[in-house]
Structure 1
Amino acid sequence: MGVVYFIFKTLYLWTLIFLLIALMPGLPPYVQFTEFRVTEPLPLMGSLSLNSVLNNAERLFSGKVHGPEAFEDHKGVLYTGIHGGEIVKFVDGKIIPVVKFGQVCDGFWEEKKCGRPLGIRFGPDGHLYVADAYYGLFKVNVNSGAKTQLVSTDDPVEGKINKLPNSLDIANDGTVYWTTSSCNFHLDNGVFDMLADGSGRLLKYDPKTSSNEVLIDGLHFANGVVLSPKEDFVLVAETARSRIHRYYVKGPKKGSRDIFIDGLPGLPDNLKSDGQGGFLVPLVVLRDQSNPVLFQSLGPFPLLRKFIARVLALMEMSFEQIDKIYPNYYAKRIVHWIGHFESVNELAKKGTIVLQLDVDGKIKHSYHNTDGSLSGISEAHWFDGAFFFGSPYNTYVGQVKLSFAEPQKIMQEKKPEQQKEQQPKKQQQEPSQPPQQQQQQQKPTLQQQQQQQHPPPQQEQKPPASPPLQQQKPSPSKQQQQQQQQNKP
């Protein structure tokens, strides 16, 4: 009876504590928690079948960059934003600072002070547009480093503060379509936003009037943004719900929206054009029937989500008070770690999937990494004959070189044997590439520039993996045909 009594008493006390924390009024965070459910992930079959296209990824600038979230290239130079609040460029194997947001800080745990550039995109005017998670939207002259603030996170838009600017895309007329992932939490408390109800937005910034308009509200962590080739609609990733929305900005459906694709086998991040009328969608966290995302599994249980959020908030408040009374490095690190996504990154399923969608939202192809050389990928960017992969967590730039002269070649549905036979011919054909691309290929690549400064030990080169094409039975070789003829009576 003593054991039974002890178990009953323990359960009673924990239930009392749970109800007290979950139901007591006045405890942070001061947000809503309601029930939600996500669509089951699509099975890894057909166009989603596992493959090894992105295996054997190179890790460039390892240990020299932290969190290269997104990429853009301009006039043959690659740019990215990193922890510490800087935009940098890669030239001749070196990392060169371009512009700094925020103030000088002691480390990435002081993101609010440092600044954190996330989405970047070059506009038609040649300026680099940047969404900084703590300071807002900026327009940067990459030659001089001069920056102009377009939108501040201190300025309310339609009654709410945009606390987490994330991604953006620029129309030909200069209109900026951008997202704020949350109106309740900053990036260093992103975990709370995943547990609470969504407060993300898709917005439109008019450069002529310097005004903003909310296009979609209530998104659960709004993330990547990309315009369609005709600029008649804009896509926005709703990361926490594993889906992508479509908002029409022109045509008969202007002002309306629908679900572009749902049930993604992971959490979508930065969206980009694939260069042939479709879109590239990297999944920063993977999920399937056997490996669901934790906070999505908690969606139907708002009281439990509220309890977890309040426990984390009380822990964070405690260490904030300790740091105020006795300022120290460890308390600051713990405060940053409690609510930041890096604290839950290790719980996520490892791996990499990049989807290629057509203009109607159908999955044409998927590209997988199964050897662990890539993980936590937030963006896939084609540049200088290779794919470059960004991540909010990694301390390197991921690179996968493919045996195709152009990114479009990846998507062509051909037999693997035909690709090997036709590749040398295509490299000799002048019409396959414009002159500018041919000149760029003659220049040393980013990887070659880095190797010239730090030459790696010689390794046997392996041919790149074939893309996930439709499997077809290969035709017999000439030697096999001769043997068959000799064996005939």
Structure 2
Amino acid sequence: MKKNNMLLSVLMALVISFFSLTIMDYFSLYQSTEINGDEGGRLQQAFMNGGAIGPESFAFDGDGEGPYTGLSDGRIMKWEGDDIGWTDFSSVSPSNLLHDCRGSRDPKREDLCGRPLGLCFYKKTGELYVADAYSGLLKFGSRDKAATIVSKEAGGVPFYLTNALDIDQGSGVVYFTDSSAKYRRREFLSAIITGDSTGRLMQYDPTTKKTQILLSNLSFPNGIALSSDGSFLLIAETTTCRILRYWLQNSTFEVFSELPGFPDNIRRSPRGGFWVALHSRRSKLVKWLLSLPWLKKVFFYGSYVLPTSRIHGMVMFFKRMRNEGAMALRLNEDGEVIEVLESLGRRKMMLISEVHEMNDSLWIGSVIMPFLWRYKI
């Protein structure tokens, strides 16, 4: 049996080597400084400074300024408007590594440089909370340039892939996800393919400074959003392509929405409901393949033959061949689809991680691309 698994792994490696593009090759096919057919110039790309990639999630401060976003080299940047562009706000990297980390796109350096994912301001104090994939839940004071670790474990189990967060602006309680207890961020595709279900939903109370586990045994819990009245949380479970609703008063949960693709982040819309970014579609073929136990083993062993970035490149290669883009859905508070965002002008969205509606614009992020999209609605 072991020999068969190894044979299949080698076969998969050969297929990937022949067909796949690296992530760097892939996004170079989609980036451009001008976009034609964008409905009168409503769509713009805002490229990141300094060579880093991956504006995965966004936050706006108490004055409505921003967005702020985290990058692959540990920096957190702030958008200062069309005339100025992006400026450095802070970094989660250790002070002695700031220079060496700047501009890094290497996933193998993320545990050294940090990888800020979800972020949100507690507007009463001006504090910025950050879910760093490797260091846990961090906080920047209103005048701090260096982060403080406020939580790095729950129930005696360290966080392994801290991912997304939202804050109750009344109480200051922070809700956040730890996507896996087995796989690091750079191994996210392996976590999804193997069906890992060690993810957790947590809450951190800044008054007691205690972290509590609300839900466990989740299949790659990713994005999270608190309802406008504070009564429930929505959690994107990427592997199962669904949104869960967790009721805070009685600690129960239910399936809120079944989705046609793999969800990443969730954000409330000022017009009502929630924006859910779907990184990619889940076709019938993909659904069938992910149900095969032997294939999960092949990808598990194959991830040791080639890095996840190459496996991901293969997946993206075939999506491009099929002209398959990402999409975003706006759901109402009953889980019904009320708006679909599938393309911008003549251009399909690819590899998106978040849609954040603010200041009459949709800010669209990607954990892979070196830019974000801004679409004026």
Residue of structure 2 equivalent to 1:69: 56
Compared with structure 1, are the counterparts of its residues 217 and 281 closer, same or farther at alpha carbon in structure 2 (3 Å cutoff)? Answer: same
Amino acid at match of 1:123: Y
Q: Which moved more, 1:210-219 or 1:348-357?
A: 348-357
Compared with structure 1, are the counterparts of its residues 267 and 169 closer, same or farther at alpha carbon in structure 2 (3 Å cutoff)? Answer: same
| Pairing 1:136–2:123 present | no
Amino acid at match of 1:311: G
What is the root-mean-square deviation in Å for CA atoms of aligned residues? 2.6
| Pairing 1:188–2:186 present | yes
For residue 143 of structure 1, report the CA deviation from its aligned partner.
4.2
Kept in 1, the 8 Å contact 2:52–2:105? The answer is: no
For residue 56 of structure 1, report the CA deviation from its aligned partner.
6.7
Compared with structure 1, are the counterparts of its residues 142 and 383 closer, same or farther at alpha carbon in structure 2 (3 Å cutoff)? Answer: farther
Compare CA radii of gyration and give the structure with the larger one: 1
Amino acid at match of 2:155: E
Q: Which moved more, 1:112-121 or 1:271-280?
A: 271-280
Compared with structure 1, are the counterparts of its residues 21 and 214 closer, same or farther at alpha carbon in structure 2 (3 Å cutoff)? Answer: farther
**What secondary structure does 1:77 align onto?**
coil
Residue of structure 2 equivalent to 1:165: 162
Q: For 1:245-283, what per-residue CA distance to the aligned partner results, in whole angstroms no more than 9, with x for missing partners?
A: 011102xxx111100001x12111111111244111111
1:147-226 aligned at under 5 Å gives the runs: 147-152=147-152, 155=153, 157-171=154-168, 172-196=170-194, 197-226=196-225
**What secondary structure does 2:342 align onto?**
strand
| Pairing 1:101–2:92 present | yes
Partner residue of 1:271 out of 266, 281, 297: 266
**What secondary structure does 1:258 align onto?**
strand
Compared with structure 1, are the counterparts of its residues 301 and 137 closer, same or farther at alpha carbon in structure 2 (3 Å cutoff)? Answer: same
- Work out the CA distance in 1 between the residues paired with 2:224 and 2:252: 17
Residue of structure 1 equivalent to 2:297: 306
For residue 185 of structure 1, report the CA deviation from its aligned partner.
0.8
Kept in 1, the 8 Å contact 2:5–2:301? The answer is: no
Residue of structure 2 equivalent to 1:286: 281
Q: Which has the higher helix share?
A: 1
Count of residues paired in the alignment: 328
Kept in 2, the 8 Å contact 1:54–1:400? The answer is: no
| Pairing 1:356–2:351 present | no
For residue 217 of structure 1, report the CA deviation from its aligned partner.
1.2
Q: For 1:190-217, what per-residue CA distance to the aligned partner results, in whole angstroms no more than 9, with x for missing partners?
A: 1221122321111111222222222121
Q: For 1:270-316, what per-residue CA distance to the aligned partner results, in whole angstroms no more than 9, with x for missing partners?
A: 11111244111111112344xx44xx433322133113211322x26
- Work out the CA distance in 2 between the residues paired with 1:19 and 1:373: 37
Q: TM-score w.r.t. structure 1 length?
A: 0.62
Q: TM-score w.r.t. structure 2 length?
A: 0.79
Unaligned runs of 5+ in 2: 9-37
- Work out the CA distance in 2 between the residues paired with 1:96 and 1:59: 16
- Work out the CA distance in 2 between the residues paired with 1:140 and 1:16: 49
- Aligned-residue sequence identity (percent) comes to 30
Residue of structure 2 equivalent to 1:376: 351
Unaligned runs of 5+ in 1: 1-14, 23-51, 317-334, 403-489
For residue 65 of structure 1, report the CA deviation from its aligned partner.
5.1
Residue of structure 1 equivalent to 2:339: 365
Compared with structure 1, are the counterparts of its residues 345 and 130 closer, same or farther at alpha carbon in structure 2 (3 Å cutoff)? Answer: farther
Compared with structure 1, are the counterparts of its residues 112 and 286 closer, same or farther at alpha carbon in structure 2 (3 Å cutoff)? Answer: same
For residue 54 of structure 1, report the CA deviation from its aligned partner.
12
Q: For 1:138-182, what per-residue CA distance to the aligned partner results, in whole angstroms no more than 9, with x for missing partners?
A: 111354424221112xx4x22433200000011120111100111
Kept in 1, the 8 Å contact 2:111–2:134? The answer is: yes
- Work out the CA distance in 1 between the residues paired with 2:74 and 2:308: 16
Amino acid at match of 1:86: R
Compared with structure 1, are the counterparts of its residues 344 and 160 closer, same or farther at alpha carbon in structure 2 (3 Å cutoff)? Answer: farther
Q: Which moved more, 1:59-68 or 1:360-369?
A: 59-68
- Work out the CA distance in 2 between the residues paired with 1:301 and 1:287: 15
